[in-house]
A and B are shown apart, each in its own frame.
Chain A
């Protein structure tokens, strides 16, 4: 690796954006993914721009019926935040399961999104919850659904000089959400497949919206729009739920790895999608947000 790599630790967002304009600049959240890629000689950054000293990126705040999570918030901090635990169950679960305690101490929300490894835990939960990512560039700020960030394995729509500054998750009263991951080997391993789902009901119990997403089942996190078809009902039939799970499996684009053959991942995608939906839909029209 280049011996002339520089390390800078800006304390404001403008300073960080300025540093990121340099040729070969790479934003560093906690440095776990960067450390992995450096260790494998897969990247040769010229400037490492560490975001850990920028207070504005370390905040979690409720605003406009959504929760805004700064990019440099750690996975551990996210998993322990009261609003996340009370209102965003799928996100709390994914943050509590990601990696292991040592990774969660360090890894950041923005880093998890920018790294765009489809086996990561946070993105499926964020997609199921309808989160949007806030991207700040040299000249403008833009937002896009988390669903639209990754374009392939470890590839995103981020342009040079752009930085993920926050993710915003809608806080929807009465919404239930779950995140499930299937790790047939070690609990701390990457999942063979993961599924996140959410369901929102009106006061009479009718489903207003249902979402589903898969992790580790393709080159990016996969949204399953067929889940929306369950809305409008009080209690979808098992067959209707299974049909959505099967649609999820058809959307999967797995490859064979040590975590399972492609055929196995696809089969498990249907199973875990169905379980995630069932767990969400089993609840009645209780008023508590989840």
Chain B
């Protein structure tokens, strides 16, 4: 039976009535925020990455009701409030087909929050493990994420 869950989504107080087993991914997309993609649905590919209370999570493996009271950010909210992160991906061409890009942007912001400017190469790569891209070969994504961390 649907139950109410309340959280902040990209800064906006949000309430949804969804089944106990609903994933945060399906709830977010159901609200029209389709930047968060549905890919593997097993927590591997990273296209459904969102921030929950500042930490990156796979929204496909996150029960929506566990987010009750949480602060959730998706690529849309980051593009609005932290456009420099998105611009870094544009500047360094950290994308090709674009499917993985919203997840990369989310993870890049999380990396910036945790690692700060001038992140170590290994630390940054470790952070981006699990945001898969089948087009670019990663070099430009890592450069874009580094620029995002540096605030360039």
Q: Does B49 contact A (CB under 8 A)?
A: yes
Q: Which interface residue of B61, B65, B110, B130 has the most chain A CB atoms within 10 A?
A: B61
Q: Does A100 contact B (CB under 8 A)?
A: yes
By the criterion CB–CB under 8 Å, are A52 and B57 in contact?
no
In the assembled complex, which residues on chain B have CB atoms less than 8 Å from the CB atom of A9?
Answer: 65-66, 68
Set B1, B3, B23, B56: member contacting A35, Cβ < 8 A = B23
Set B1, B57, B61, B129: member contacting A6, Cβ < 8 A = B1
Q: Chain A: interface residue count, which band?
A: 20 to 34
By the criterion CB–CB under 8 Å, are B42 and A34 in contact?
no
Bound complex: CA A36 to CA B40 (Å): 11
Bound complex: CA A39 to CA B59 (Å): 12
CB closest chain-A residue, reference B56: A102
Q: Which interface residue of A4, A7, A76 has the most chain B CB atoms within 10 A?
A: A7
Q: A31-B66, A105-B57 are in contact. Are A36 and B20 (CB under 8 A)?
A: no
Bound complex: CA A187 to CA B66 (Å): 28
Bound complex: CA A102 to CA B128 (Å): 10
Residues of A27-63 at the interface with B, using a CB-CB cut-off of 8 Å, are 28, 30-32, 34-36, 38-39, 45, 48, 50, 52
Q: A28-B63, A35-B63, A106-B62 are in contact. Are A188 and B44 (CB under 8 A)?
A: yes
Q: A5-B21, A36-B42, A50-B63 are in contact. Are A102 and B130 (CB under 8 A)?
A: yes
Q: Does A148 contact B (CB under 8 A)?
A: no
Q: Does A152 contact B (CB under 8 A)?
A: no
Bound complex: CA A7 to CA B24 (Å): 14
Residues of A with Cβ closer than 8 Å to B?
1, 3-7, 9, 28, 30-32, 34-36, 38-39, 45, 48, 50, 52, 76, 99-103, 105-106, 187-188
